[in-house]
Chain A
Amino acid sequence: MYPRKKKESPMADSPKKHGSLALQVSGLTKKYGNVTAVNAISFQVKKEEIFGFLGPNGAGKTTTVRILTGVIKADGGKAVVLGGSAGSLKAKQKAGVVPEMTNAYLDISGWDNLMLMAEIYGVPKRQAYKKAEELFKKIELYPQKGQKVRTYSKGMKQRLILAMSLISDPEILFLDEPTSGLDVKSARLIRGFIKELSSQGKTVFLTTHQMEEANQLCDRIAIIDQGNIVAIDPPEKLRAEIKEMHSVEVSFDRKVKTESLYQLPQVSTVERVGDKFRLYTSSPGEAIVSLVNYTSRENVGIISLNTLTPSLEDAFLALTER
């Protein structure tokens, strides 16, 4: 009953088992008073996938994770985790969890925290020892394993917490903003580890509000805003969305009508920003050529010209503001 390294399946001749689902969520809803934290969301996550849940503060990410990990109950809808309903002992036994705001026990050592988790998940002692040794090396805390957690830095604590979620060798991992507030080094270590886990066949459900992180790690990204899923796409698709958002910012030495800029080839949208115009385009180079042609034709002088590259954040904001 204790999860093995490879999931058992009589017909699993290839490690990638297409079509088998780790998570099935339909119509999941949670209300707090008159705030709908999660509004009838539905999605599915395939086994061995890294699924990103990306959204701004208050979007409903943590609420969703808490329902999926059995910490709170949904008001409606259904969630199945590896064949068991969310919150059931069966589902919990197969999952590893890094809650958003969580701590290890500060008054005992990192090692003892890991052993406690092993006992709670019913991991046999010998196996737990071996796994803990391996994990402490992996999270680069091996020399500090016997120290009280109170003496750890924030980054060390977060790495320990990740290790605690892995001691039972879970099939699925729920990580709620595992790198938020960490320095580059700790964040990179954790991200690298997540990638590695996925390549070992684990399913990862990851929430983040960092577009870049989702992009780097995830096979698919769901964008959630105000309790609703706005889009579920692979990162490439989101990048394509961003491509549409390059812009050229220009100011002229005399009055120019917005409509005439609209008619330029390659320009999709025009926006006035103070005394400047912002022309949105998917190919800034061509847009500039047509802009220069226009100005020489109309005898207008250009005072300033800038190209603006959209950040991932812009794309994200555009998607969530829609």
Chain B
Amino acid sequence: MDSFSTLVQQAQRSLVIARKNIRIYYSKGPVVIFGILFPVFLFLAFAVGRDFSIQFMLPGLLGMVLFFTSTAISPAVAPWETQARTLERLISSPLTASTIILGDILASFAFGFLISLIPLGAGLALSLQIHTPAALFGGLILAGFCFSSLGLMFSAAPATMPSTIMMLSSMIKFPVVFISGIFIPLKQLPGWGKIISYISPLTYFTDIARHCIQNEGYLSLGVDFLALFAFTGLFLILALKLHQKTMPERI
């Protein structure tokens, strides 16, 4: 079999893994409800009592929902499968480690993307106007992949306890929210604040969303997409490489 058809076949099997994850790990009532409620409440905790317009709030809310849902479940999948003793069978079947990880990323992406449509739909229902919908759509997709890959990077630590991984990933996730221009827009940040915010991929998605919803971003859309693209590539490669190394150690 030539390498191209192998590639196609492995891509198809990634989808099989993604469907399996959605079915087994994501499509549970509490997971879905928590996935949307948690970021919404967290956001409201900061926004309530302040004089923010919906145009200002929605980009931040969208960013937060996408970021938290895309990284909510995926870090725990590999530890879960280790603990439930289903991983060895997957590794021994005709899948490369990358196929399995890509499947995990795809499932996480689908979950994050679909849940983000809820606040977006709510915004549209409030007759918010979206400038350049294509950019918002593209941003959601790219950022969804980016955050999902980041989630998978977290799960590469060969810990068996899902709770350990969840704690580790939360320790990174929460600070990220504060440095991504969600509560304080980029342009109001002091110089050092801006520099810190540039290391967060969420900054660029929030900026894209501000462009499209508020009609005022800080960076240019091109820079935002380029940065998100670079982060996605970096996280994806790191996630794949790390898992290739640690997957056999889980068994």
Report which A residues bind B (CB closer than 8 A).
1, 66, 69-73, 89-90, 92-93, 95, 97, 99, 101-108, 116-117, 119-122, 164, 174
Interface 1/0 per residue, B1-25 and A, CB below 8 Å:
1000010011011001100100110
Known interface pairs A89-B96, A92-B92, A104-B86; A116-B251 also in contact (CB < 8 Å): no
Contact A122–B88 (Cβ < 8 Å):
no
Contact B24–A105 (Cβ < 8 Å):
yes
Contact B92–A93 (Cβ < 8 Å):
no
Q: Other CB < 8 Å A-B pairs besides A89-B6, A116-B16, 9 of them? A: A66-B251, A71-B91, A72-B251, A92-B92, A95-B92, A102-B85, A117-B93, A119-B16, A122-B12
B50 within 8 A of A: no
Known interface pairs A1-B1, A72-B248, A119-B16; A106-B84 also in contact (CB < 8 Å): yes
Cβ of A248 to closest chain B Cβ, rounded Å: 48
Residues from chain A with a CB closer than 8 A to the CB of B93 are: 92, 97, 117, 120-121
Contact A107–B89 (Cβ < 8 Å):
no
CA distance A95 to B12 in the complex (A): 20
B94 within 8 A of A: yes
Could you give 29 example pairs across A and B, Cβ below 8 Å? A1-B1, A66-B88, A70-B91, A70-B92, A71-B88, A71-B91, A71-B251, A89-B6, A89-B94, A89-B96, A92-B93, A93-B94, A95-B92, A97-B89, A97-B93, A99-B85, A99-B89, A101-B85, A102-B85, A103-B86, A108-B24, A116-B16, A117-B93, A119-B16, A120-B90, A121-B93, A121-B94, A122-B9, A174-B92
Residues from chain A with a CB closer than 8 A to the CB of B95 are: 92, 120
Give the B interface residue count (CB, 8 A). Answer: 25
Residues from chain B with a CB closer than 8 A to the CB of A70 are: 91-92
CA distance A167 to B23 in the complex (A): 21
Identity of the chain A residue whose Cβ is nearest the Cβ of B12 in the assembled complex? A122
Residues from chain A with a CB closer than 8 A to the CB of B12 are: 122
Residues from chain B with a CB closer than 8 A to the CB of A69 are: 92
